[in-house]
């Protein structure tokens, strides 16, 4: 008869108490894991998008910064225009190494590929540094006419081999990796393809694609080495009227703030749940110790030391906490993984499952908090039980 078997039998012997501790640990572990995962996932997503854009400064028409950020992060198409000549002015600002123009368009709603408008981003292959590096790595060449690459969630409709946009057939030659943002539902094609589609839409589509002449939507800027992007952004805003220049580090500030707010709300929730859990487990264990007074007295009479009684109770609680915490973390991971798209759509926030090492670290953290919560809750009742005078304990 090992002490561990004794513990296991005690766990099995009281369903209510064991389930109470198990479920409290499950909730605490799962909640902590999902809280940190949500916030971390959002931050990871934002970071990935910033990396993907690769821009030190993003220049958009004045006052449209928020709309463009929402388009990039949530995939909600937006049409913003500024004069093409801004490109040359921006290129002439001191410290600018590359200035690459982009066009932001939207596909038709209820196109066969999509149930809603899709964000279409046209780029200049000569100057682009956002998509072109990926193209060179994965395709070995840039996009040709009537070719496009899509975010991870863009697909060719079943039974067809091309995507239709405004009546024109486009070859989907590749898919970018998932970012957990609107870029996953975006389509990337060259300026030439965009203009060709626009020209063809007047005869082929139910509604034409109108691109104002000599207009662009945004300019992505890379600065020269050792130049502060914030200084260049200020200079662009000064030199080029009618634009907003956002340094890369300042991109998506609203979403960073939102992630921070979510983090604080979840932390408050977690704190409350942990405290309630602590109280519930403490109370349940106190009641259990009271019920088992006589039994504990018998065990002491049979030769169990005070320390053995304390260890037995603590191990019992911690085994339940480990089981509950692990189950909570696993359940939380499963739910967040399965419902990741719903999270993005309903929270209006980017979200991406972090890498496996990060996940394991978060899981360990969730488990540790669940264990600590339970250990703290049962310490006092366990100490009281171990210090019971055996003779008094055995008296009814």
- Binding residues for another protein, rule: CB under 8 A, are 1-3, 5-6, 9-10, 12-13, 114-116, 153, 155, 157-158, 184-185, 294-295, 297-308, 334-335, 338-339, 341-342, 345, 389-392, 394, 396
Cβ burial, residue 21 (10 Å; 0-12/13-18/19+):
buried
CB of 395 to another protein, least distance (A): 8
CB of 43 to another protein, least distance (A): 22
Task: Give the Cα separation of 11 and 362 in Å (integer).
Answer: 28
Q: Judged by CB, which is closer to another protein: 158, or 214?
A: 158
| Dihedral sign (CA 211, 74, 184, 90) | positive
Task: Give the Cα separation of 95 and 221 in Å (integer).
Answer: 10
SS3 212: coil
CA 168 to centroid of chain Cα atoms: 35
Q: Judged by CB, which is closer to another protein: 112, or 271?
A: 112
The values of phi and psi at residue 10, to 5°, are -65, -40
CB of 57 to another protein, least distance (A): 31
CB of 262 to another protein, least distance (A): 20
Contact between 127 and 98 (Cβ < 8 Å): yes
Contact between 202 and 208 (Cβ < 8 Å): yes
CB of 50 to another protein, least distance (A): 22
261-284 as b/e: b if 16+ CB within 10 A = ebbeebeeebeebbeebbebbbeb
CB of 178 to another protein, least distance (A): 10
| Dihedral sign (CA 96, 214, 166, 108) | positive
Beta strand 218-223 with 168-175 is unpaired
SS3 312: helix
Which residue is associated with the tokens 């949500």? 38
CB of 288 to another protein, least distance (A): 13
CB of 74 to another protein, least distance (A): 11
CB of 66 to another protein, least distance (A): 22
DSSP strands (E only) in the chain: 57-61, 82-83, 96-106, 119-123, 147-150, 163-165, 168-175, 186-190, 215-216, 218-223, 243-247
């Amino acid at each position: 008869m090992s002490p561990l078997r004794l513990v296991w039998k005690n766990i099995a012997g009281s369903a209510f108490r064991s389930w109470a501790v198990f479920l409290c640990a499950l909730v605490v572990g799962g909640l902590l894991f999902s809280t940190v995962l949500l916030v971390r996932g959002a931050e990871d997503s934002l970071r990935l998008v910033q990396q993907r854009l690769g821009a030190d400064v993003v220049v958009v028409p004045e006052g449209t910064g928020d709309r463009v950020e929402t388009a990039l992060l949530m995939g909600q198409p937006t049409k913003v225009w500024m004069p093409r000549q801004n490109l040359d002015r921006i290129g002439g600002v001191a410290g600018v190494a590359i200035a690459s123009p982009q066009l932001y368009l939207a596909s038709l709603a209820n196109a066969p590929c999509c149930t809603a408008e899709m964000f279409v981003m046209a780029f200049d292959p000569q100057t682009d540094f956002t998509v072109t590096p990926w193209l060179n790595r994965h395709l070995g060449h840039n996009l040709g006419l009537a070719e496009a690459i899509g975010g991870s969630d863009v697909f060719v409709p079943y039974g067809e081999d091309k995507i239709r946009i405004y009546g024109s057939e486009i070859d989907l030659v590749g898919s970018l990796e998932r970012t957990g943002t609107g870029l996953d539902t975006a389509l990337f094609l060259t300026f030439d393809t965009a203009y060709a589609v626009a020209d063809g839409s007047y005869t082929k589509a139910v509604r034409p694609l109108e691109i104002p002449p000599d207009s662009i939507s945004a300019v992505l800027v890379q600065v020269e080495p050792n130049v502060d992007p914030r200084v260049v952004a200020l200079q662009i805003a000064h030199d080029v009227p009618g634009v907003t220049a956002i340094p890369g580090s300042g991109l998506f500030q609203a979403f960073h703030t939102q992630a921070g707010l979510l983090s604080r709300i979840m932390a408050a929730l977690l704190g409350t749940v942990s405290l309630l859990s602590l109280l519930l487990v403490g109370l349940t264990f106190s009641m259990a110790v009271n019920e088992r007074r006589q039994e504990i007295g018998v065990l002491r009479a049979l030769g169990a030391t005070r320390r053995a009684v304390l260890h037995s109770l603590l191990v019992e609680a911690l085994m339940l906490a480990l089981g509950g915490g692990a189950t909570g973390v696993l359940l939380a991971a499963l739910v967040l993984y399965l419902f990741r798209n719903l999270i993005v759509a309903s929270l209006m926030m980017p979200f991406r499952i972090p890498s496996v090492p990060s996940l394991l670290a978060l899981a360990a953290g969730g488990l540790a908090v669940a264990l600590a919560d339970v250990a703290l809750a049962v310490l006092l009742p366990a100490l009281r039980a171990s210090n019971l005078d055996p003779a008094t304990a055995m008296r009814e």
